[in-house]
Amino acid sequence: MRRTSQRNCPRITRRSFTAGAGAAGLLAATGFDVARAQSGPLKVGVLLPRSGAQAGIGQDCQRGVEITPGIFKTLGLPELAIMNADTETNVEVARARAEKLINDGAQLLVGAFDSGQTTAIAQVAEQKGIPFVINIAAAPPITEQGYKFVFRNFPTAPMILSDAFANQKEVFEAGGSGPKKVVYLHVNDTFGTSMAKSLPGLLPKFDMPYEIVEAIAYDPTARDLSVEVAKAKATGADALLVTSRLNDAILITRELIKQRWTPMAVLSMGPGWYEDQYLKTLGKLSDGPLSFVPWYDPSKKLSKQLEAAFDKAYPGNNLNTNHIYTFEALLVAADAYNRARSTDPKALADAIRTTNITDNVSTGPGIQFDAKGQNDKLKNSGIQNRGGKLLTVAPKVAANAKVDWPLKPYDKR
């Protein structure tokens, strides 16, 4: 039986095995390229904190996603198939969602607003070899790990601080005075801690007119910030320097009013104070704070197009950092796909590495990445809330309004 069976089976010789293996290898190599050649929309997994403590900002970033298709069409860029995922404002959930998106076929990832969540996603993307374009996250280590698949079109914490100090000096000069003592209130998450760590090293280099009398860290999910504001007030500081999120920015403002303290200025170096939810929740009490943040150049052609599209889609809302940088992250993805003409992760990553978009939105010369995957040419602006609008007050070259200085007392509004 065994002998018969052996005789009936096709014999595998060394020669046929080698030929077969070679053919299989060739098929795999060519078939791989065929399968990944540009044939449909690029599957882009967009990870954002759509629920949890950062839900408001995550939803705001999503608006930047929603307005892309129409604009990309006019720019002649390929269509993107967006796969949405919610990080739930949780680092571990962000990691798990990134893995799931990749398993579900995402060919490129975008996200995730928060440095902690972004760090986790970057690890997954690098491990799986899937390009990851960061929309918003400022912690420097993310692009210091030698990752090959991680790209950031957003300034790092030291870049934000450097520009913030330069713009603050312009504002103080335009306002005719500046604070001598400031108290620094900051969130204790990855972003806030990065900013707080960078501050002491950078401050002396800019010869600022003020000293930081105390730094107060707090939990971004805190329900009550009365102690924090009371402590800040007790330092006798002239102004408040803050790195916050959205809900805590609202809580801080409420406490400033309740505790009858109007500092000379609220100088924010992060999100929260320019968000539409902040403006709508507090109404006229939202006027005055200055945000020194990555922003957009209103004179750029694409900025005008984006503003028009945003205004049409979300009337009554202001275009802000969340929309701009989420839009630009997708712009990087579409541009890379357009040039790579492939969904092969390596080809996409190579294309992103050689990005050179000068027709963009954000302040600065455009979008290019250095060897670490960081766009190091981005610039920030100084924004002031006034009458529910966001006006650019610094730098002078991008300003469309003069600063209103100092902060109008809360009880006289």
Partner 1 sequence: MAAEIYLNVAVSGLLTGLVYGLMAAGLSVIFGVVRVVNFAHGEMMTVAMYLAIVLFNTLGLDPLVMAVPLAGVLLALGYVLQAGLINPFITRPEYSQFMLLIAIAIIIVNVLLIVFGPDARNVQTSYAFDSFLIGPLIIDATKVYAGAATLVITAALFVFFQFAPLGKAIRACADNYTGALVVGLNVKHLYALTFGIGAACVGAAGSMLVLLVDVTPSLGPALTLLAFIIVITGGLGSMAGAVLGGLLIGFTEAMAGLFFTPSAKSMFSFGLLVLVLLFRPQGILGKRLS
Q: What is the distance in angstroms between the CA of the first residue and the CA of the last residue of the chain?
A: 100
Q: Which is nearer to partner 1, 123 or 226 (CB)?
A: 226
At position 139, the amino acid (one-letter code) is A
Asked if residue 396 lies in contact with residue 170, where contact means CB atoms within 8 angstroms, the answer is yes
User: Which part of the chain contacts partner 1 (CB under 8 A), choosing from 11-19, 37-45, 55-63, 347-355?
Assistant: 55-63
Contact call for residue 108 and partner 1 (CB under 8 A): no
- The answer to whether 62 contacts partner 1 (rule: CB under 8 A) is no
Stretch that binds partner 1, among 126-134, 135-143, 250-258, 362-370 (CB under 8 A): 250-258
d(CA 58, CA 51): 7
Q: Measured from the CB of residue 213, what is the shortest distance to partner 1 in angstroms?
A: 12
Please select the residue that binds partner 1; options are 223, 315, 316, 371, rule is CB under 8 A: 223
Instruction: Decide if 41 contacts 72 (C-beta within 8 A).
Output: no
> Measured from the CB of residue 197, what is the shortest distance to partner 1 in angstroms?
15
Q: Which stretch binds partner 1 (CB under 8 A): 49-57, 68-76, 377-385, 397-405?
A: 49-57
Q: Which is nearer to partner 1, 76 or 316 (CB)?
A: 316
Q: Are strands 108-111 and 132-134 parallel, antiparallel or unpaired?
A: parallel
Q: Is 394 buried (19+), middle (13-18) or exposed (0-12) by CB count in 10 A? A: buried
| Residue of the chain from 51, 62, 145, 305 that contacts partner 1 (CB under 8 A) | 51
Which of these ranges, 17-25, 61-69, 216-224, 396-404, lies near partner 1 under the rule CB under 8 A?
216-224
Q: Interface residues for partner 1 in 157-196 (CB under 8 A)?
A: 188
The span of 68-76, 149-157, 195-203, 256-264 binding partner 1 (CB under 8 A) equals 256-264
In the complex, what is the shortest distance from the CB of residue 231 to partner 1, in angstroms, rounded to a whole number?
6
Closest CA relative to residue 138, chosen from 98, 189, 185: 189
Helices (H), 106-245: 115-128, 157-175, 190-202, 226-234
Binding to partner 1 by residue 85, rule CB under 8 A?
no
> Taking CB under 8 A as the rule, does residue 277 contact partner 1?
yes
d(CA 111, CA 133): 7
Decide: 205 and 236 in contact? Cβ < 8 Å.
no
Task: Using the minimum distance from each CB to partner 1, give the nearer residue, 128 or 231.
Answer: 231
Kindly state whether residue 287 participates in binding partner 1, applying the rule CB under 8 A. Answer: no
CA-to-CA distance for 287 and 413, rounded, in angstroms?
9
Which residues, including other chains, have CB under 8 Å from residue 18's CB and lie 6 or more apart?
A: none
250 binds partner 1 (CB under 8 A): yes
Q: Does 217 bind partner 1 (CB under 8 A)?
A: yes
Nearest-angstrom CA–CA distance, 277 and 246: 8
Rg of the chain over Cα atoms, rounded to whole angstroms, equals 25
* DSSP state, residue 206: G
Distances in Å between the alpha carbon of 277 and those of 60, 210, 239, 274, 281?
9, 31, 23, 8, 6
Q: Which of 134, 251, 266, 340 binds partner 1 (CB under 8 A)?
A: 251
Binder to partner 1 among 180, 197, 205, 260 (CB under 8 A)? 260
What tokens were used for 12? Answer: 């595998």
Q: Is 252 in the site for partner 1 (CB under 8 A)?
A: no
Q: Which of 38, 59, 305, 338 binds partner 1 (CB under 8 A)?
A: 59
Size of the site for partner 1 (CB under 8 A): 38
Contact between 225 and partner 1 per CB under 8 A = yes
Minimum CB distance to partner 1 smaller for 57 or for 120: 57
- Give strand pairing partners of 263: none
62 phi and psi angles, rounded to 5 deg:
-60, -30
User: Which residues would be at the binding site for partner 1 (CB under 8 A)?
Assistant: 50-53, 55-56, 58-59, 188, 216-219, 221-228, 230-231, 233-234, 246-247, 250-251, 254, 257-260, 277, 281, 285, 410
